[in-house]
Structure 1
Amino acid sequence: LVMFLRIRIAKEKLLFNKTAWHFFSRTKNPGLDIFSYRAYFLEIGLFFSLVIIYILFQWTIEGSQLGILHETDFNEEIPEMQVVRTVFYEDVKQIAKPKLRPKDIILIEEISDEISLELLDERIEETEGLVKRTANNSRFILPPAPPVPELEEPEIPVWFAEQMPRFPGCEDLQLTDEELRICADKALLQFVNSHIKYPVVARENGIEGTVVIRFVVNKDGSITNIAILRDIAGDCGLEAQRVVQLMHDLKIKWIPGRQGGRNVPVQFSLPVKFQLQQN
């Protein structure tokens, strides 16, 4: 490697002297050029570098040696370890027994006589109550337990039924189902027209339109859950709601809707039209 480097450096030096010497020379006298010894310094540096690298590769560090266990080492008997148990003793304080004073002792007499229960010959119905017999052979009657009231689950109102609810007033007439429906609608319209008042704000501003009030007709014919479903301006919705609320306040019972042969709660929508008369 050293010989190869020296030959390579010599070729570069020769080439350098022939072609590019005048670019690097700092004096006109070639004998005084300080760069002429550059190749020698480069060889010396490479030599010492190689020597240092060689020494580093040959350098060894003494450390702890690893031993290898042979099979014979396992055959040696390992002495058993003796377990020494340490017992700690604590002083146990004896709890003094309470001394009973004569006045704290209560004597209980043993009752040898057993109370015998005798069956009554007379028959008592369950509705009259339960009969108990005491030690003195006296009897008393316990009142029957009150019946547990049955809680009915609230039914969800339906939107349509086989027979829709209708306003009362036409039941005494001998009419068909269709005639009853028409008669009930006329009676409802007459009730609304007789109690409704055109709001002043709506009349002054010429507001017209249809308000829809929704409520629930329960199984007993009462109406609840009154709400404005569609409203127009001018307090028309509040006025229509007031008239429907008046039915509830007057306790007017509707004919409830029927589904499957029984009364059911039904959602009912009532349109109320507000229209000004043209003079």
Structure 2
Amino acid sequence: MLKKLLIITAIIATSSAFAQEGTITEVTESEMTKGDVPYAVIENVPVYPGCEGNSNVELKECMSSKISAFVSSNFNMKKIESLNLAPKVYRVAVQFKIDKEGKVVDVRARAAHYEIEKEAVRVVGNLPQMEPGKQRGEAVGVLYSLPIVFQVEAPQKIDSKKDKRKSKN
């Protein structure tokens, strides 16, 4: 059985959408960015459930750690194991928007394998509803980019002679 390690990196703000023919969901950049504000420049960041703070910096740190924990605990590595991927580090670029109601929408992913994209979209799409971000006192959509990085390790070889000796003792 392959051992896998899922590492979630910090949320990185981005204002650019990435469109690629054949991606999971196809939303044009103009549809995604109408009235939306990039995470890096939002006046009042969206608030993840359970996060508290007096500044955007505190709220961003809390949100980043909560999203990382959520993705780590919900990303189904058994699906990834079933793909029999070559041992190496894999990256998934996920982009999503938190809309004016605080719902995660327009989730898109790019990865080396379609099944990895599907799993990333599924997990991020299940993030809980948040308090929406605000610009000039008005709720707006906020664009996020989340890199997910995990490593596939080579299967461990088991010496059957040693195992047999251990079971006899």
- Same topology, TM > 0.5: yes
Unaligned runs of 5+ in 2: 1-33, 157-169
Identity of aligned residues (%): 29
Cα deviation 1:36-83 (Å, max 9, x = unaligned):
xxxxxxxxxxxxxxxxxxxxxxxxxxxxxxxxxxxxxxxxxxxxxxxx
The AA in structure 1 aligned to 2:119 is E
1:257-276 map, 5 Å: 257-276=133-152
Between the aligned partners of 1:234 and 1:274, the Cα distance in structure 2 is 15
Query: Structure 1 residue 211 and structure 2 residue 92: aligned?
Result: yes
The residue aligned with 1:185 is: 64
C-alpha displacement at 1:231, in angstroms?
A: 1.3
Counterpart-to-counterpart distance in 2, 1:269 and 1:170: 19
Alignment of 1:160-239 (within 5 A): 160-171=41-52, 176-198=55-77, 199-228=80-109, 230-233=110-113, 235-239=115-119
**Aligned 8 A contact 2:86 2:152 in 1:** no
215 and 269 in structure 1: CA distance in 2 versus 1, 3 angstrom threshold: same
Determine helix, strand or coil for the equivalent of 2:68. Answer: helix
- For 2:57 and 2:153, the matched residues in 1 are separated by 31
Query: What SS is found at the alignment partner of 1:238?
Result: helix
Cα distance in structure 2, aligned partners of 1:269 and 1:218: 14
Q: How many residues align?
A: 118
CA contact (8 A) 2:107 2:124 kept: yes
Structure 1 residue 163: deviation in Å?
2.8
What RMSD in Å do the two structures reach over aligned CA positions?
Answer: 2.5
Give the TM-score normalised by the residue count of structure 2.
0.59
Q: Would the aligned equivalents of 2:42 and 2:135 in 1 still touch at CA under 8 Å?
A: yes
1:245 positional shift = 2.0
Q: Post-superposition shift, 1:235?
A: 2.2
Deviations 1:110-156 (A, max 9, x none): xxxxxxxxxxxxxxxxxxxxxxxxxxxxxxxxxxxxxxxxxxxxx53
Bigger RCO (CA 8 Å, 6+ sep): 2
Relative to structure 1, the CA distance from residue 220 to residue 239 in structure 2 (aligned partners, 3 Å threshold; closer, same or farther) is same
Gaps of 5+ in 1: 1-154
Under a length normalisation based on structure 1, what TM-score does the superposition of the two structures give?
0.38
Shift of 1:193: 0.6
| Paired residue secondary structure (2:147) | strand
Matched residues in 1 for 2:48 and 2:151: separation?
23
- 8 Å CA contact 2:96–2:106 kept in 1: the answer is yes
- CA 1:226–1:234 in 2, change beyond 3 Å: closer, same or farther? closer
